[in-house]
Amino acid sequence: MYLLARQGVVRSLDAEKWAVEIGAAAAKGIGNDVGVWATVLSPGVGTFTWTSRWENLAGIEKGFAELMGDEKYLALAAEGLQMVTGPLNDALYETVYPGSGLVENARYASTITAVCAPGNFAKGMLSGIEIAQRAEKASGVPVEFVAGQTGAYGTVSWIAGYETIEAFETAQHKLTEDISFVEYLDSVTGAYQADPTLTQTTLYMRLN
């Protein structure tokens, strides 16, 4: 399973409406759900992310080819020239550990992204699965672990969804209060690059 995330920084007051509209047009064109997310309470406010999940890369190729013939999508994409500052960036992830289940109707999602340290790729992947499973046990929230297929080599990310902001807050408190979870994190720190610009926590709010 693949997760495709497209991000852009917007500058217009009508950006949220446009982001939702083009997400809906893309979903109809590719025949797949497209989530529209705004970065909140995190670095990168003003960033919108469109996400979709795919069984294989051939599906992504076919979906995007069909979009190129969708007049409504192309018209909204043209409007984006006035909405978006700078380039759009795609990130492709493959699911390594799918999590213990899905949070239906998640309004918020959090990600923690890191990059495996040189010579520690295998440790980073195995530890990543263990971290996800321990986080699930400590917080009671399903946690997915994915590996980047594009972008910085060795990128990994943990993803969790929440129905409310209160659910997110409660989960964070449970994680910090679980000493065994914190101790495990400390024990595998060397598996990931010690660079705060690479290790980032981000909170998103779904708009559609």
CATH code of the domain occupying 2-93: 3.30.70.100
pLDDT given for residue 162 in this prediction: 97
CA distance 124 to 180: 19
pLDDT of residue 186: 95
Asked if the domains 2-93 and 94-206 are classified in one and the same CATH topology, the answer is yes
What dihedral angle (degrees, nearest 10) is formed by the CA atoms of 42, 44, 49, 55? -70
- Distance (Å, whole) CA 192 – CA 34: 31
Choose which CATH entry (1.10.3720.10, 3.30.70.100, 3.40.1160.10, 3.30.390.10) describes domain 94-206. Answer: 3.30.70.100
Q: Give this prediction's pTM.
A: 0.94
- How many angstroms separate the CA atoms of 141 and 129, rounded? 15
What pLDDT, on a 0 to 100 scale, did the predictor assign at position 144?
97
Could you state, in chain order, the average pLDDT of each consecutive group of 10 residues for the chain (208 residues)? 95 86 95 95 94 96 91 91 89 96 86 97 97 97 97 96 97 97 95 93 96
Domain boundaries, the chain: 2-93, 94-206
CA 155 to the chain's CA centroid: 12
Report which secondary-structure segment, H or E, holds 99: none
Tokens representing residue 150 in the block: 């594009």
Contact of 103 with 141, CB cutoff 8 Å:
yes
Q: Are strands 84-97 and 2-10 parallel, antiparallel or unpaired?
A: antiparallel
Q: What is the rounded CA–CA span in Å between residue 178 and residue 107?
A: 25
